């Protein structure tokens, strides 16, 4: 088999890249380790920057999103029983779009099907060969024994636990990592959201987030110790704790219901440099991870895809390699700013086990400065809606 670009990973990064390349006449094959249903079974965040929305529009995959998403002009920041609103649209002229990543991924799969895009599921033992040469190839086994795909380029969109990043030699690659001493316990419930916009709440008992997927599907999170297991948290215990961490006016009107999904995720900041090696390019979670506090996970993958698909188009259409040569530096410049913002939001809103009295005073001063200062609110708004590509 031969193609122009082999894409490893059929998550949102790999699917969006494949769709954009196809729309520009560039052939690709997606190798996905799992099944389509398994990939669609993952519950992920739901806040999209307009840059991501524009890419989905360019990819011809925006119809469902336009029909079923919400735009949010701002968010509430709460601390103990105080609260204030950050007005994204006032400060930046830009809202954010609320639309679940599961729906994004489903729309992308359906679009690939319509265009007869080649996705090979259950691809086991994917291996990258000769990435540092002009004739790279990939081997894999999808149940018919080992197969080989020769290609011009390889896009590693295979997430944090994928095979692409480790293919870059240790003496070339440098990883930067910060782990946080807590996790997020998330609950999905078929209940109306407690507020029409998100509520990020910092309380003496820990962080809480009130989000949603649509008018009858809510997504809530509370910060929990890393030692906690999901089995420790009954639905009632979760709702009681959430009420204790959000302002009383919202606690009083919270509508609870049975959880249809409940899970605990650790928080991590991670970046691997460089994001390319020879003819291998890393995108999305394969190269970087952010704590979910800034809602940047999918949105950082989007800017990688933006830079890479434009670089491929420029190469195949104009024989110009500049975009391919500068991909890693350009992608990382934006990634590190998103890492900073996600790290900053996480430190602003969470309780850390080792916080001193002084640390708590600094956190409170940060929140009150943000409450009172328009420039500070503009900085948060500009980062939240997404810095320019």
163 contact choice in ligand PHB, ligand APR, none (CB below 5 to 8 Å, kind-dependent): ligand APR
- Which residue in 153, 180, 292, 309 is the catalytic one? 292
Contact (Cβ atoms closer than 8 angstroms) between residue 309 and residue 289: no
Nearest C-alpha neighbor of 45 from the set 256, 246, 220 = 220
CA 39/CA 9 separation, integer angstroms: 10
Distance CA 33, CA 12 (A): 14
Q: Under a CB-based contact definition with an 8 Å cutoff, are residues 248 and 81 in contact?
A: yes
* Contact between 293 and ligand PHB per CB under 6 A: yes
Under the binding rule (CB under 6 A), the answer on residue 51 touching ligand APR is no
80 versus 102: smaller Cβ distance to ligand APR: 102
Closest CA to 4 of 113, 140, 118, 123: 118
In angstroms, what is the minimal distance from the CB of 138 to ligand APR?
9
- Please state, in angstroms and rounded to a whole number, the distance separating the CA atoms of residues 370 and 385: 17
In 3D, which of 351, 183, 161 has the Cα closest to residue 266? 183
Residue of 17, 39, 78, 381 interacting with ligand APR (CB under 6 A): 39
Indicate which of ligand PHB, ligand APR, none lies near residue 214 (CB less than 5 to 8 Å, by partner kind): none
User: In angstroms, what CA-CA distances link 256 with 23, 81, 188, 189, 232?
Assistant: 44, 20, 10, 8, 18
Would you count residue 120 as binding ligand APR (CB under 6 A)? no
Stretch that binds ligand APR, among 9-17, 205-213, 253-261, 374-382 (CB under 6 A): 9-17
What single-letter DSSP state applies at residue 360?
H
Identify what 293 binds: ligand APR, ligand PHB, none; CB under 5 to 8 Å per kind: ligand PHB
To the query of whether residue 316 is one of the catalytic residues in this protein, the response is no
Task: Name the minimum Å distance from CB 191 to ligand PHB.
Answer: 14
- The answer to whether residue 295 forms part of the interface with ligand PHB (CB under 6 A) is yes
Q: Looking at 44, 68, 205, 243, which residue binds ligand APR (CB under 6 A)? A: 44
Radius of gyration from C-alpha coordinates of the chain: 21
Site string for ligand PHB, 28-47 (x = CB under 6 A): -----------------xxx
**Residues identified as active-site:** 72, 200, 292, 296, 384
């Amino acid at each position: 088999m031969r193609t122009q670009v082999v894409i490893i990973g059929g998550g949102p990064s790999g699917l969006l890249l494949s769709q954009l390349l196809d729309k520009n006449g560039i052939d690709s094959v997606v190798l996905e380790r799992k099944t389509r249903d398994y990939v669609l079974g993952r519950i992920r965040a739901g806040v999209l920057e307009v840059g991501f929305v524009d890419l989905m529009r360019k990819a011809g995959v925006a119809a469902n999103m336009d029909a079923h998403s919400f735009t949010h002009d701002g968010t509430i920041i709460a601390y103990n029983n105080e609260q204030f609103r950050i007005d994204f649209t006032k400060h930046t002229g830009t809202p954010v779009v609320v639309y679940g990543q599961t729906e994004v991924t489903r729309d992308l799969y359906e679009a690939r099907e319509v265009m007869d895009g080649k996705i090979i599921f259950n691809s086991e033992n994917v291996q990258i060969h000769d990435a540092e040469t002009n004739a790279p190839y990939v081997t894999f086994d999808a149940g018919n024994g080992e197969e080989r795909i020769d290609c011009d380029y390889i896009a590693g969109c295979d997430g944090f636990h994928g095979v692409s990043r480790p293919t870059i030699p240790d003496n070339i690659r440098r990883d930067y990592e910060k782990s946080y001493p807590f996790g997020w316990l998330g609950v999905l419930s078929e209940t109306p959201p407690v507020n029409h916009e998100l509520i990020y709440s910092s309380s003496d008992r820990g962080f809480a987030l009130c989000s949603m997927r649509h008018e009858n599907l809510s997504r809530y999170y509370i910060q929990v110790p890393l030692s906690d297991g999901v089995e420790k948290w009954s639905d009632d215990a979760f709702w009681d704790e959430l009420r204790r961490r959000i302002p009383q006016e919202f606690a009083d009107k919270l509508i609870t219901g049975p959880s249809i999904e409940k899970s605990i995720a650790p928080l991590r900041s991670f970046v691997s440099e460089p994001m390319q090696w020879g003819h291998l390019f890393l995108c999305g979670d394969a190269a970087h991870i952010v704590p979910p506090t800034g809602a940047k996970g999918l949105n950082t993958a989007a800017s990688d895809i933006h830079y890479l698909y434009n670089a491929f188009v420029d190469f195949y259409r104009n024989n110009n390699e500049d975009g391919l040569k500068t991909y890693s530096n350009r992608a990382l410049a934006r990634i590190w700013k998103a890492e900073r913002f996600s790290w900053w939001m996480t430190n602003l809103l969470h309780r850390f086990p080792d916080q001193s009295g002084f640390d708590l005073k600094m956190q409170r001063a940060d929140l009150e400065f943000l409450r009172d200062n328009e420039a500070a609110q503009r900085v948060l708004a500009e980062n939240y809606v997404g810095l320019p590509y």
